[in-house]
Structure 1
């Protein structure tokens, strides 16, 4: 039976597998493709509770990322968190970044941290503060200022690229564009590429969201920062 067929068999209230003891169910679930975990966790209350417990995520972490099972000192201001959080960070990193050694998990946690902070609907920190935290995180991991700045730029670009096309994302990008850049010494200033990406998404993916005032205010900001600006940002 294919993996898809096995998953379909498990995602059923009548399946005898779901009546197994918790520790055996965990061994089954961590072998199911991650794309089916949401469905599996909805089979019954017992399955849902297993996906809330640390033991399942610890087992999944060891199975999918064996090197992550080793205890390591965790430097920097961004916390590592639970096994579920670690699994999410490593999964994100595997699918977005190509980093080696211990930096993969750190990059994944940094990505999750930045995305969550940007998506806070009220009173989210300024981009300058967030960028400073990211830089400090990588410097705490013995990265040079140049490397920390390069990694921070990769994180920013990946997060901006992966924000969904929603009204909330439009408001996030508009706020980032209008914040302006406070002069900070290198590496605590965001890269040119990151600033460009904010405006690029606004003028390409969210053009229909602008009212007249917003469009010209943001266009003025873009012209102030970038010369020349692409014709597509002007609508032609």
Structure 2
């Protein structure tokens, strides 16, 4: 009912796009470069509602990732989701992860899962549980322990690189840096590359946020994991 009233309003002001059938309008929208979709969704309420509908994202999925419709549901704890979620997962995978087609959607969903869980502002899950969930997901999809460890590291590195530069990210990275998972068995321990990336972002991107005590606590934790420490990390 709300969509009909929005479209009636557009017709009343003689908007030419309001006379276009929805399916044709969707076909036009999904041919516009993806980077401009955010602006299109702000044109009016009717278009904003279209971007909330599964039919638009289903059409976008088939156009941008034509083989996605052939993909089967996979086992494991991370679900596939609806068309919009699948589109976001495939788009992130295409932009960030150099993986083969059969893995691209699963890796993309894993990226979205980890990023969203880490960005929960109150009581985020322990990182060890999140890492174990990712490892179990790849093993459930038939990957070996080594492959699961490698893919999980790839996901962690991409997520850490794509966290926004804000206070919440600083608190998150500080918590991750001070958390230890050395007691876990392989492949459930995070790789040294992931730990390095966490400390690197703290000591470079968030140096100004560090208090005196924080700096020495984090530096001591870094020295337990890495030797030598990069010169850029030193000097409070």
- Specify the alignment match of 2:8 in structure 1: none
Query: Number of matched residues?
Result: 224
CA shift digits 1:80-120 (9 cap, x unpaired): 11100000000000000111132000000000000000000
- 1:47-196 alignment runs, 5 A limit: 47-196=47-196
In structure 1, the gaps of 5 or more residues are 1-12
**What's the offset of the Cα at 1:197?**
0.8
Alignment check: 8 A CA contact 2:73 2:80 kept: no
**What's the offset of the Cα at 1:71?**
4.7
1:199 & 1:105 partners in 2: Cα distance? 29
1:23 & 1:152 partners in 2: Cα distance? 39
In structure 2, the gaps of 5 or more residues are 1-12
Alignment check: 8 A CA contact 1:93 1:108 kept: yes
1:14 & 1:41 partners in 2: Cα distance? 20
Alignment check: 8 A CA contact 2:177 2:195 kept: yes
**What's the offset of the Cα at 1:235?**
2.9
1:160 & 1:15 partners in 2: Cα distance? 44
Alignment check: 8 A CA contact 1:132 1:188 kept: yes
The worse-fitting range, judged by mean Cα deviation, of 22-31 and 65-74 is 65-74
Alignment check: 8 A CA contact 2:41 2:47 kept: yes
Structure 1 segments of 4 or more deviating over 6 A? none
**What's the offset of the Cα at 1:181?**
2.1
Alignment check: 8 A CA contact 1:18 1:25 kept: no
Q: Secondary structure at the match of 2:42?
A: coil
The worse-fitting range, judged by mean Cα deviation, of 127-136 and 220-229 is 220-229
Alignment check: 8 A CA contact 1:40 1:47 kept: yes
**What's the offset of the Cα at 1:73?**
2.6
* CA RMSD after TM alignment: 1.5
Give me the TM-score of the superposition, normalised by structure 1: 0.91
Give me the TM-score of the superposition, normalised by structure 2: 0.91
Alignment check: 8 A CA contact 2:135 2:148 kept: yes
- Specify the alignment match of 1:10 in structure 2: none
Alignment check: 8 A CA contact 1:128 1:182 kept: no
